[in-house]
Each structure stands twice: as C-alpha cells, then as structure tokens.
Amino acid sequence: MNRREGACKEVAMSTRIHQEVVIGAAPEEVYRAFMDEKRHSAFTGGASRIDAGVGGLAEMHDGQIVARNIELEPNRKIVQAWRVAAWDDGVYTLLRIGLAPDRDGTRVTLDQTGCPEDMTEHLASGWEARYWQPLREFFGKA
C-alpha cells in the first residue's frame, strides 16, 4: 500500500477505444463471423465457444477472452460485457460493435468503454491484429 494513499486502494482510470474499419463482406457475414463459434474460430485461429443469444456466454481465443451478450440486433449490433480472462474478478469493459452496409462491404464501428488505463493501447492494437486483419483475410480482402 502506498503510504500517501492511506487505506485507499489505487484504481487505474478507465478509458475508451473507438475504431472504425471496413470489412469486405456483407453485414450478415460479418455478424456471423463474430457470433458463430465455428466461423469465429476459423478467422481468429483460436478455439471459441459462443452462445449467440442475449445473456449467452462467449469464450474466445482459447479462453483468453470472456464475454456475456447484453444486446444483440442480428446483422446490426453486438453489445457485450467483455473481459480478458486474466483480469481481476469483476473487471469488465462494455463492448459495442455496430455493423452498417458500406459500398465496400460493412463498416464496423467499435466502442469499448471501461478499459483499464494500462491495457488500452494493448487492447486497441489487439483489435487490429486479432480481429480486423484476420477478418479481411477470412473474407479475401487482405
């Protein structure tokens, strides 16, 4: 414990990630890639278990990522309580993924709030390396 803090526990401030990318596939296909465990495993290269209903649990990247579906609008929106499995119990981010038709496929808008400050840069780069680039390759638009 830091003496200046007395009995208070230091908590890192949380931050937000906002990203927009275009994936060369229809919104229905992109939604399925996120919500179908076989497709998710195929494009990420890691085992996935996904219950694709509201309230359903998802484990992705060989169990490294855990999420619970809060709100789903097929082919349009995914909202999840999302966390890295190694984080302290009870630490979640709120993940919102929006899907909209674009002339080149689907515009994906990601907003992730409540990210631990010391993890934000890592998480942001992880979306590109573990999702956007693999999705482009999966749909043949690398």
**Domain containing 62: what range?**
14-138
Closest C-alpha among 72, 27, 26, 67 to residue 50: 67
* pLDDT, one tens digit for every residue, the chain (142 residues): 343 343 433 444 568 999 999 999 999 999 999 999 999 999 999 999 999 999 999 999 999 999 999 999 999 999 999 999 999 999 999 999 999 999 999 999 999 999 988 899 999 999 999 999 999 999 985 4
Structure tokens at 30: 């992109």
Q: How many domains does the chain have?
A: 1
CATH number at residue 73: 3.30.530.20
Rounded Cα distance, 80 and 39, in Å? 18
Q: What is the mean pLDDT of the chain?
A: 90
Pure H helices in the chain: 27-35, 37-44, 120-127, 133-138
Assess if residue 3 is contained within a domain: no
In a domain, 58, yes or no: yes
Which pLDDT score, from 0 to 100, does residue 10 have? 41
- Alpha carbon 56 to its chain centroid, in Å, reads 15
The model scores a pTM over 0.85: yes
Which pLDDT tens digit goes with each residue over 24-63? 999 999 999 999 999 999 999 999 999 999 999 999 999 9
**Other beta carbons within 10 Å of 64:** 13
The token pair that represents 26 in the structure block:
């229809």
Question: Could you tell me if residue 97 is inside a domain?
Answer: yes
Distance CA 8, CA 3 (A): 10
